[in-house]
Amino acid sequence: MQVSVDFLTVTLCEKDNYRYGGRYHITNAAETKKVASDDLQTMGAIMEREAMEFDVVIVGGGPSGLSAAIRLKQLAAESGREIEVCLIEKGSEVGAHILSGAVLEPRSLNELIPDWKERGAPLDTPVTADKFMFLTETGSFRLPTPPQMNNHGNYIISLGNFSRWLGEQAEALGVEIYPGFAAAEVLYDDSGAVCGIATGDMGIGKDGEQTDMYMRGMELRAKQTIFAEGCRGHLTKTLFDRFDLREGKDPQTYAIGIKELWDIDPEKSKPGTAWHSVGWPLSTDTYGGSFLYHLNGNQVAVGYVVGLDYSNPHLSPFEEFQRFKTHPAVRGVFEGGRRVAYGARALNEGGFQSIPKLTFPGGCLVGCTAGFLNVPKIKGTHTAMKSGMTAAEAIFESLEAMQPGHEPASYAERLQDSWLWSELYKVRNIRPGFAKGLWRGMINAAIDTYLFMGRAPWTMRHHADHITLKTASEAPKIDYPKPDGVISFDRNSSVYLSGTNHEENQPAHLTLKDSSVPIEHNLALYDAPEQRYCPAGVYEIVREEDGSNPRLQINAQNCVHCKTCDIKDPSQNIVWVTPEGGGGPNYPNM
């Protein structure tokens, strides 16, 4: 579909403002219609979506989706064939929604682009030192570094910048990348097989009616659709249900990771140092820990990860993170420095036993939308990339003669024969061991690693995170200190540094199945935990001046798309759906 304004024609994929002089020129395959803005709502109601055809459509511009796109084009070039590959990304640009620690193990990158150094990949801070610490409230001591956390040969990176670089490599190979467009719907053919996706309509107001900026979404149709949405992908959830992809699998379990980027005093900078801790401020019955990664340029990436299977409804992951930075062993790093960026994202922790069925008629799942994070390593980029590359190889081998509704079953077979599968299998019992607390978890991890070498004759199980909360009356309240505005901060000033923005006049993308549940259930039983597990101040309980008439206020404009509410809500009443493309955070160097 193209939109023309007088004699100027621009493609829809540029997501420009197509209004000119109060009139719209909408061109489709059959005819050109000249429509006054006053008539646009009527026309939009009857307009059919325009469709574009590709060989492969990829949903998500993170490392797994981009690796799949690159590998498909590499294989096509090697065989002298032309294939059409399209990748869409809901962020305003590739990398805008990407957040991770991050330390990259370059194994998959070496396989995908062996000459990445010559091509200028942004891997310029090799890890030179590992430290693993245990914190008490006032002190700290060093622990032996677990073998999985040995970062020799790895690099401290900005995963957002790395994704941007991968995007450049993909475009150079001919991949069509459309940032700023959110996949809002899975398309199915008459047989029930996936045949592509549709982008969301633009210009729908809060009241659900079309505004004068209305633009119908596009259908992107393909022989194969690869879903690379990242953790808790909203379309992937619908695929789980439609194709029973989680049947016989453990529930996925998650954590929330919260991160800041700081400019620090050059005298305190130690480029290449990877520092991790467990212990304070979390109690020993809650899984979590910290990271401090020293980058070049006098910058430090600091973050805190809290397992979402925590039981105390009074716990606030955001405030645990802020409190962590005030520890005597940590605070000095940031004194005299300046916080420059903030963000948060949920991450998969289920590992091997929570991997769903990966294929279905018409497509497959790759990366964190499936859940390939290696929790003991605290790394998932190398496994996400490998899954995308493997999916690409499985799809390409039968693409030329592919029939509609083909299920790329060899993808799962290839993955099970790869190093990724054995890597995740060997660490499968470590994360679930911490369900019994920090000390039992560490003992279990040592036994599983050193005695059984990852080959214990049993597999420990996971449980869903939303069922773990105690009631508010059963759990101790936590008295968090007020932020000092120097080392620790509040949510609003933090969200500002994420660059988060949404079109205000659009339907809420944070939806409730039942509007009575937040007060009658969540507030009554758990003291409204959504106020605390959200790292962006999206959920507030507001009352009259006398404290009466409590009600939930949703500040959707603040949402950083971390998906924590969709995961941890005890009644599973909150459902995250995609907002207009281009909305959400705009992370720089994260």
pLDDT digits (tens, 9 = 90+) for 161-184: 999 999 999 999 999 999 999 999
Residue 313 resides in a domain: no
58, 17: one domain: no
How many whole angstroms separate alpha carbon 580 and alpha carbon 507? 9
SS3 558: helix
In the block, residue with structure tokens 């959707």:
556
Question: Phi-psi bin for 482: left (phi > 0), alpha (psi -120 to 50), beta?
Answer: beta
In the block, residue with structure tokens 């996971």:
462
Q: How confident is the model at residue 30 (pLDDT cuts 50, 70, 90)?
A: very low
Structure letter (DSSP) for residue 536: T
Q: Which residues contact 337 (CB under 8 A, 6 or more apart)?
A: 262, 263, 264, 265, 268, 300
CB atoms < 10 A from the CB of 147, how many?
Answer: 10
**Is 70 exceeded by the pLDDT of residue 504?**
yes
Pick from 11-25, 432-446, 486-500, 560-574: least confident: 11-25
352, 347, 421, 362: which is closest to 386 by C-alpha?
421
Structure letter (DSSP) for residue 286: S
Helix axes 419-426, 381-396, angle to 10 degrees: 140
Contact 265, 333 (CB under 8 A): no
155, 374, 124, 163: which is closest to 274 by C-alpha?
155
Residue 564 resides in a domain: no
32, 87: one domain: no
Residue 3 resides in a domain: yes
81, 225: one domain: yes
How many whole angstroms separate alpha carbon 393 and alpha carbon 390? 5
107, 195: one domain: yes
Structure letter (DSSP) for residue 531: H
**Is 70 exceeded by the pLDDT of residue 9?**
no
Q: How confident is the model at residue 363 (pLDDT cuts 50, 70, 90)?
A: very high
Is residue 100 part of the annotated active site? The answer reads: yes
**Is 60 exceeded by the pLDDT of residue 245?**
yes
**Is 60 exceeded by the pLDDT of residue 78?**
yes
How many whole angstroms separate alpha carbon 310 and alpha carbon 315? 8
Looking at the chain, the whole-number percentage of residues with pLDDT higher than 90 is 89
**Is 60 exceeded by the pLDDT of residue 135?**
yes
Position 24 scores a pLDDT of 27
Is residue 559 part of the annotated active site? The answer reads: yes
Pick from 39-43, 122-126, 213-217, 454-458: least confident: 39-43
| From 13, 86, 368, 559, active-site residue | 559
Residue 499 resides in a domain: no
185, 93: one domain: yes
Question: Phi-psi bin for 295: left (phi > 0), alpha (psi -120 to 50), beta?
Answer: beta
How many whole angstroms separate alpha carbon 484 and alpha carbon 82? 58
**Is 80 exceeded by the pLDDT of residue 11?**
no
| From 163, 534, 564, 578, active-site residue | 534
163, 44: one domain: no
| From 345, 428, 431, 532, active-site residue | 345
| From 64, 67, 92, 100, active-site residue | 100
Position 401 scores a pLDDT of 86
Position 111 scores a pLDDT of 98
Residue 389 resides in a domain: yes
Position 47 scores a pLDDT of 66
Is residue 345 part of the annotated active site? The answer reads: yes
Residue 585 resides in a domain: no
Contact 313, 477 (CB under 8 A): no
192, 239: one domain: yes
Position 372 scores a pLDDT of 98
**Is 60 exceeded by the pLDDT of residue 329?**
yes
| From 381, 383, 498, 500, active-site residue | 381
| Of 386, 409, 428, the domain-final residue | 428
Domain of 11, in residue numbers: 1-48
102, 40: one domain: no
Q: What is the DSSP string of 27-58?
A: E-SS-EEEEEGGGHHHHHHHPPPPEEEEEEEE
Is residue 381 part of the annotated active site? The answer reads: yes
| Of 385, 404, 428, the domain-final residue | 428
SS3 499: coil
How many whole angstroms separate alpha carbon 316 and alpha carbon 150? 30
pLDDT digits (tens, 9 = 90+) for 39-69: 434 444 446 899 999 999 999 999 999 999 9
| From 13, 231, 562, 564, active-site residue | 562
More confident: 271 or 23: 271
Residue 291 resides in a domain: no
Across residues 125-133, what is the average pLDDT?
Answer: 97
88, 40: one domain: no
Position 25 scores a pLDDT of 27
With 0.85 as the threshold, say if the pTM is over it. yes
Is residue 231 part of the annotated active site? The answer reads: no
How far, in whole angstroms, is CA 500 from its chain's centroid? Answer: 15
38, 102: one domain: no
Query: Is the bond leading into 63 cis (omega within 30 degrees of zero)?
Result: no
Looking at residue 325, its amino acid is K
Position 582 scores a pLDDT of 85
* Cα distances (Å, whole numbers) of residue 114 to 53, 107, 111, 389, 418: 32, 10, 6, 14, 18
**Is 70 exceeded by the pLDDT of residue 19?**
no
The domain that holds 385 is classified in CATH as: 3.50.50.60
How many whole angstroms separate alpha carbon 128 and alpha carbon 153? 9
For the chain, the average pLDDT equals 91
Position 34 scores a pLDDT of 33
Q: How confident is the model at residue 325 (pLDDT cuts 50, 70, 90)?
A: very high
How many whole angstroms separate alpha carbon 201 and alpha carbon 581? 9
Residue 289 resides in a domain: no
Is residue 364 part of the annotated active site? The answer reads: no
How many whole angstroms separate alpha carbon 80 and alpha carbon 67? 20
67, 17: one domain: no
Q: Which residues contact 219 (CB under 8 A, 6 or more apart)?
A: 49, 50, 51, 52, 187, 196, 197, 198
100, 175: one domain: yes
Number of domains composing the chain? 2
Pick from 63-77, 308-322, 392-406: least confident: 392-406
- Checking DSSP bridges between strand 551-554 and strand 85-89, what pairing results, if any? unpaired
Burial class (CB in 10 A: 0-12, 13-18, 19+), 292: buried
pLDDT digits (tens, 9 = 90+) for 440-473: 999 999 999 999 999 999 999 999 999 999 999 9
Is residue 164 part of the annotated active site? The answer reads: no
| Of 48, 67, 85, the domain-final residue | 48
